[in-house]
Structure 1
């Protein structure tokens, strides 16, 4: 990845209220959006990030969202990201090189990039369920939208149809069946946004990036300690977060597996995550949200696959690709998952019903 020079990093770090004398600053992690560095002093460790202002141009409101949510969680006694302020008391620092922030390093934790077993995925469900329940009373309307129409599936479908119509790369002939698949599912797309609009689905704080590696687990107990990567915190539906967790976590294969015979929707992993998640949100989840949990997985998988296909048709301008058909391969894995989720929809509903009965 691109890195910033040592002088720049040391100068930036010097603008924050760090404890001790600076020892080292080195690249850290494998994130694709922000540039992340581990800062070590003779007293503590910190995470320094250069924020991607192309993806998130409104730094002020992004950091306001994070400050509001982390302050609320901390008042409830929850472990969360700890923003280190600048010498002037701000939550971030800007100079000619970019926009920067610092978090205290959360020690003695680990994270996973892939789901190794059902128990880890159940713990992940409990982590994001706990995060959701802890914020159930938080007024989500206070939060700013940092990425417009992020989970507005009808808007995504509008963009998809525009990409199909333009066919700027003349790729439409290679994916007619896939295009037809998303057209045939058009009745699904307003399901959640219409519920938010008419109030039948409550507006809540949503994380919107519920990857497994955004949960810091205790290195000894392997229980969740903190949810990180809060840049996409926005008002929305808990169904966005639950559905997207199932989309990537309950798949038997990677998102870009070319052999579709290896791609399957695992009801075992669905049940593991649902048990962890519902065990935490039981006090706050509504009947309507509960009824739509299995559908939310289909919705988020439809939306993601549609985005992959639209990007393929536009020439791969958004998602990073390793070869020309990469986004098409990703799209096909999502279609296979949707097909199996639809086939197993009744089973998924039975799982949710059984989990809730056990919790009673």
Structure 2
């Protein structure tokens, strides 16, 4: 959360929340979550029908066409709601709804923002509430998320959640959604950007920086594996979530079953393998992404087995033989890719991810690179797990 928004006038936040209030009165607005991109608030209402909703300010430095994000979200959430109405699920499953303003719009801009529609916002716009792009989505009541995995049954629920999400959008043609983040999860492009940044900077020499430099240099060939498979037709274009880390899965606070997948800004055409890899990358690192003890980070193969069991219990219906063949590559690639992105941002001066200190992205990169190394050292075990579940 930016310091400017921490101290932002409470009345202003209340006024923004009221734009989306069709019933009830806004009683409170509090900061919510710890996302690295958007600024998120929980709005409380005195309405008996809906007691809370989520208010977000979209980071238009990351999402340059926020209107397309909302168009996508309305398209696939409406599709999922129709699927759920016609399904006879034996357990709870929800998808967040897009809430409209009083004039039936799916977002709201202040006067300054309206003047800048269609233009690239100033860099400082991300820290300035004037000219912001706001949206509201329904809140999943009686649910919570976790930053790390608890046990294997928890892992199975994480996998089930991703499988359910993929299943519910598997019959929605990819061309129905706009690509709101061109180049996102295209690892060769991240590698190219890294090389451009590196050519323009003189990184501070340290054992950690030198380790990262060598780590990337030794794995440049890894970056192309999934994009090559897509180009040759071995992996089909589908719809993907884009950011299925474990804290984007909501669990029922009573049953402890997964009930929703949230953070839907990155849903777009792509490879489901990016989601599978990212889910396993984030779920099987018990130390978490923000640990300072990076050398102790490891990939837990028992949790890997649990996630894949849960995922395949729902996703077997649409996966192909080739899909299974590339699951290991996806797990290794996404850990490497995220480490590469963190390290690149560190070299560039921390311009993309929010940081708490100047070395934060370097520390994050070290965690992901250590995780990548742990995945590589257990390749045979991971491939055997995948093979046994086919």
Query: Would you call these one fold, judging by a TM-score over 0.5?
Result: yes
Q: 2:69 aligns with which of 53, 58, 62?
A: 62
Distance 1:94 1:325, change over 3 A: closer
Query: How far apart, CA to CA, are the structure 1 residues paired with 2:31 and 2:341?
Result: 30
| Aligned pairs for 1:1-360 within 5 A | 1=1, 2-3=5-6, 4-43=8-47, 44=50, 45-77=52-84, 79-96=94-111, 97=130, 98-171=132-205, 175-356=209-390
Comparing 85-94 with 17-26, which one deviates more in the overlay?
Answer: 17-26
Alpha carbons 2:225, 2:329 under 8 Å: kept: no
Normalised by the length of structure 1, the TM-score is 0.92
Secondary structure of the 1:103 match is: strand
What's the CA shift for 1:351? 0.5
Distance 1:167 1:24, change over 3 A: closer
Query: How far apart, CA to CA, are the structure 1 residues paired with 2:343 and 2:149?
Result: 25
Comparing 79-88 with 266-275, which one deviates more in the overlay?
Answer: 79-88
Distance 1:256 1:22, change over 3 A: closer
Comparing 279-288 with 315-324, which one deviates more in the overlay?
Answer: 315-324
Secondary structure of the 1:76 match is: helix
Secondary structure of the 2:28 match is: strand
Alpha carbons 1:143, 1:234 under 8 Å: kept: yes
Distance 1:323 1:106, change over 3 A: closer
Query: How far apart, CA to CA, are the structure 2 residues paired with 1:171 and 1:142?
Result: 47
Question: Where does the alignment leave 5 or more consecutive residues of structure 1 unmatched?
Answer: none
Comparing 294-303 with 94-103, which one deviates more in the overlay?
Answer: 94-103
Distance 1:322 1:89, change over 3 A: closer
Comparing 119-128 with 3-12, which one deviates more in the overlay?
Answer: 3-12
Query: How far apart, CA to CA, are the structure 1 residues paired with 2:31 and 2:294?
Result: 36
CA displacement, residues 160-213 of structure 1 (integer Å, 9 cap, x when unaligned): 112222224444886334323222222221111122233221111111111222
Distance 1:179 1:84, change over 3 A: same
The structure 1 segments of at least 4 consecutive aligned residues displaced by more than 6 Å after TM superposition are none
Query: How far apart, CA to CA, are the structure 2 residues paired with 1:115 and 1:280?
Result: 20
Query: How far apart, CA to CA, are the structure 2 residues paired with 1:80 and 1:102?
Result: 14
CA displacement, residues 103-145 of structure 1 (integer Å, 9 cap, x when unaligned): 2222111211221222212101110111011111111122122
Secondary structure of the 1:226 match is: strand
What's the CA shift for 1:232? 1.0
Distance 1:338 1:32, change over 3 A: closer
Query: How far apart, CA to CA, are the structure 1 residues paired with 2:18 and 2:274?
Result: 39
Q: State the number of aligned residues.
A: 356
Normalised by the length of structure 2, the TM-score is 0.85
Query: How far apart, CA to CA, are the structure 2 residues paired with 1:252 and 1:135?
Result: 30
Alpha carbons 1:201, 1:288 under 8 Å: kept: yes
Query: How far apart, CA to CA, are the structure 2 residues paired with 1:221 and 1:346?
Result: 35
Cα RMSD over matched residues? 2.1
Alpha carbons 1:20, 1:42 under 8 Å: kept: yes
Comparing 243-252 with 170-179, which one deviates more in the overlay?
Answer: 170-179
What's the CA shift for 1:221? 0.9
Alpha carbons 1:169, 1:315 under 8 Å: kept: no
Alpha carbons 2:242, 2:274 under 8 Å: kept: yes
Distance 1:17 1:194, change over 3 A: same
What's the CA shift for 1:317? 2.7
